[in-house]
Amino acid sequence: MATEVARMSEIPVGSMKRITSFNESVLLSNVSGKIYATQNDCGHQRASLARGTLEGKIVTCPLHGAKFDVTTGENVAGIQMTMSPELMHKMPPEVVSMFQRMGDLLSDIDVRPLKRYRVEVKGDSIYLDKAE
């Protein structure tokens, strides 16, 4: 059974909104005027994707930079560990080396795809149904 969860007017094109539905944290994303619903928790360490960035149909996790296609739930880029050149020059070489090794290890971690939900829009109302 579909449940009303938000209004289109609350989620402009190119933006996201975190809601709770079915006792789960859900991310609503407006991609070119169409609403997509996925789990809000990153498939890596459960960080809130709503605190990340949405570029086109790709949401980037704010914690480790994993990227997901909100239209399919697919993980399109794994964990990213980067350090600005300015910061690298300020840190001892041992710390930089340790950070780089950690980044190499983290890049091999399998990041699960996002669960998706069925979305229906009626007028300004957005309805969700159980996960696909």
Residue ranges covered by each domain of the chain: 3-131
Q: What is the pLDDT of residues 63-106, one digit of tens each?
A: 888 899 999 999 888 666 555 567 667 778 887 777 677 666 66
Model pTM score = 0.78
The tens digit of pLDDT for each residue in 21-71 reads 989 999 999 999 999 999 999 876 678 999 999 999 999 988 888 899 999
- CATH number, domain 3-131: 2.102.10.10
User: Which stretches of the chain are DSSP H helices?
Assistant: 85-90, 93-106
User: Which residues have CB under 8 Å from 93's CB, separation 6+?
Assistant: none
Closest CA to 38 of 10, 72, 86: 72
